[in-house]
Amino acid sequence: MARKSLRKSLQLPASLPLSLRVAFPLAIGVGFLLLWQWAVGYFDVASVILPPPAAIGHALFADRATLFQSLLTTLGITIEALFLAFVAGALGAILFARSRLAEVGLFPYAVILQVTPSISLAPLIVIWVGLDHIDRALLILATIVAFFPILSNTTLGLRSVDPNLRDLFQINKASSWQRLVQLELPSALPYLLGGLRISGGLALIGAVVAEYVAGSGTDMGLGWRVIEAANRLNIAGMFAALALLSGLGLLIFAALSVLQHFLLRRWHESALGDFR
């Protein structure tokens, strides 16, 4: 009995308040930064190897205008790539759900795009598109990287419709368009949004990898800022750009999580306990 009561007292409630969800990770992050700052000073680590958080913050503030412009450049490419991946992935999933032959014939090639390392595709895409259209090359690569999770998740969602509801639509002689719009797409929406959350981070990764390969021919996004700072042994500046990339990734994930909650909160069990 004592063990059971202790176990119950240590368990967290199923739904945590939003304030605790924000404050707890922030407290861990602040504690980590304080430990980092202390460890660098205590062990006398050279700044060229690992700068302290204070130096990174100073570099971030000193170069804030340039870094902010680079952040906007990378964010723009990421959003455009995510939109294109969303459209292409959703349309491809509808095609696969409608035609088994199309899925058998084309899905393996989508898998090939997914498993091929993006850094190996980047030089080819840059060459094919041309250095005069380098931003287009970045957009293509980021779209390719973000495409597969949306395609696979949405295809699974379209094939996971409740058989009883499918039979009901068939009994009422619903058209193919009515089944798609009123039954299959709403049923697949949680899967699609789950894939979209994954693809948000992948689109950012694809944009940064493309900037690494394209180099100074880009519009100076955050990926290029990391390389530029590393080449100059400006390690604090490199960490500042990396911190912005991490923050941008968190922002994209949080925005897509809010979108998912907004669209699912009234009817799907996965979002019923969120943001309370």
Task: Report the Cα 242 to chain-centroid distance in Å.
Answer: 16
Q: For residues 237 and 17, which has the higher predicted lDDT (pLDDT)? A: 237
44-66 pLDDT, tens per residue?
999 889 999 999 999 999 999 99
Please check the confidence at residue 262 and state whether its pLDDT lies above 70: yes
| Domain extents in the chain | 52-157+184-267
Mean pLDDT of 268-276: 60
- Reported as a pLDDT band with limits 50, 70 and 90, residue 272 is low
68-91 pLDDT, tens per residue?
999 999 999 999 999 999 999 999
Provide the pLDDT for residue 20. 80
pLDDT > 90 in the chain, percent: 55
Mean pLDDT of 222-244: 92
| H, E, C per residue of the chain | CHHHHHHHHHCCCCCCCHHHHHHHHHHHHHHHHHHHHHHHHHCCCCCCCCCCHHHHHHHHHHCHHHHHHHHHHHHHHHHHHHHHHHHHHHHHHHHHHHCHHHHHHHHHHHHHHHHCCHHHHHHHHHHHHCHHHHHHHHHHHHHHHHHHHHHHHHHHHHCCCCHHHHHHHHHCCCCHHHHHHHHHHHHHHHHHHHHHHHHHHHHHHHHHHHHHHHHHHCCCCHHHHHHHHHHCCCHHHHHHHHHHHHHHHHHHHHHHHHHHHHHHCCCCHHHCCCCC
Mean pLDDT of 236-259: 94
Provide the pLDDT for residue 200. 95
Q: For residues 5 and 43, which has the higher predicted lDDT (pLDDT)? A: 43
Mean pLDDT of 228-246: 93
174-199 pLDDT, tens per residue?
888 899 999 999 999 999 999 999 99
Mean pLDDT of 225-238: 91
Q: For residues 263 and 213, which has the higher predicted lDDT (pLDDT)? A: 263
Provide the pLDDT for residue 10. 47
CATH of domain 52-157+184-267: 1.10.3720.10
120-169 pLDDT, tens per residue?
888 888 888 877 778 888 899 999 999 999 999 999 999 988 889 988 99
